Structure 1
């Protein structure tokens, strides 16, 4: 019999591969080599299963982001470069794209995506706060890579392996300049 964890893991794999339409109990049971009875042993219906998948992914994504920021070595731009190096392990474009599509019509998915976005933005802002004058400037600098991730998730094509990390490395170097208030804005 497949464990609850096996079911959730297989559901997240199906979500990454085919989006929410691929998260079907019969297909996942076949993938696991078990009957649908195994599913009913662990979950009280498809909605409970999907909520468990969302909870698992959201908790792990937020924890991974916080842990990565806490463990990043160095200071200043060196610290940001270390975070960029860890980025590929924190971001799965397939899951991010599927979750954002799911969140368009599901309140539970919206809450999970909002929690992941909040954690990502807070983590980025924490790093930039050490480098830039003022909390607002750090917030704007943090928004730049955060919004790039969201944009990459919504792109109608797959971002090539390594390209998003390369974009993040570039942004790590230029975001402070982008966040500087212009002479036209109040300080």
Structure 2
């Protein structure tokens, strides 16, 4: 039986692949091969599910990254960069959540909180608000250009900025 996390992970995958409108009970049940009853066992409806999905996104793509960087021995910034640069649906998911935030007040509120948390953490570990903001803007912008920057190109851009501050 699928647990709550399975439903949320499936929602993040749909979100990354097709955007917020694709996250429906029908598509989730099809992806997981489960019934609507299983969905309603974990969530009261789509409104509650979408709230939980945004919380899951924040926990997976912000809170977890900060916690792992804090637990790492050595350079927190390098650890954070390594986490951000892991291949996978990260860039597509980030773009999808930002697009969702343009159309939905709850998603916008969560995206604003995520942006504040990320920039505050970067400022803390860099010791410089302008550098922290610049690094974050590079990461966000790298996913917004068409075509998006590859992981290698993003790493090079970040290292250029970090190298220029020495």
- Give the TM-score normalised by the residue count of structure 2: 0.86
CA-based RMSD: 2.2
Question: CA separation of 1:60/1:79 partners in 2, compared to 1, >3 Å: closer, same or farther?
Answer: closer
Give the whole-Å Cα distance in 2 for the aligned partners of 1:172 and 1:83: 14
- Determine the structure 2 residue equivalent to 1:88: 85
Give the whole-Å Cα distance in 1 for the aligned partners of 2:34 and 2:77: 45
- Determine the structure 2 residue equivalent to 1:44: 44
- Determine the structure 2 residue equivalent to 1:108: 106
Matched, 1:13 2:13: yes
Asked if the contact 1:19–1:98 (Cα under 8 Å) also holds between the matched residues in 2, the reply is: yes
- Determine the structure 2 residue equivalent to 1:97: 95
Question: CA separation of 1:5/1:84 partners in 2, compared to 1, >3 Å: closer, same or farther?
Answer: closer
Shift of 1:7: 0.9
Give the whole-Å Cα distance in 2 for the aligned partners of 1:8 and 1:170: 36
Asked if the contact 1:152–1:159 (Cα under 8 Å) also holds between the matched residues in 2, the reply is: yes
**Where do 4+ consecutive residues of structure 1 move more than 4 Å?**
none
Question: CA separation of 1:65/1:159 partners in 2, compared to 1, >3 Å: closer, same or farther?
Answer: same
Unpaired segments of 5 or more residues in structure 1? Answer: 130-137, 178-187
Shift of 1:54: 0.4
- Determine the structure 1 residue equivalent to 2:129: 139
- Give the TM-score normalised by the residue count of structure 1: 0.78
Shift of 1:159: 2.4
Asked if the contact 1:87–1:165 (Cα under 8 Å) also holds between the matched residues in 2, the reply is: no
Shift of 1:46: 1.1
Give the whole-Å Cα distance in 2 for the aligned partners of 1:108 and 1:93: 21
- Determine the structure 2 residue equivalent to 1:134: none
Unpaired segments of 5 or more residues in structure 2? Answer: none
Asked if the contact 2:123–2:129 (Cα under 8 Å) also holds between the matched residues in 1, the reply is: yes
Question: CA separation of 1:144/1:108 partners in 2, compared to 1, >3 Å: closer, same or farther?
Answer: same
Asked if the contact 2:65–2:83 (Cα under 8 Å) also holds between the matched residues in 1, the reply is: no
| Aligned residue-pair number | 165
Shift of 1:153: 3.2
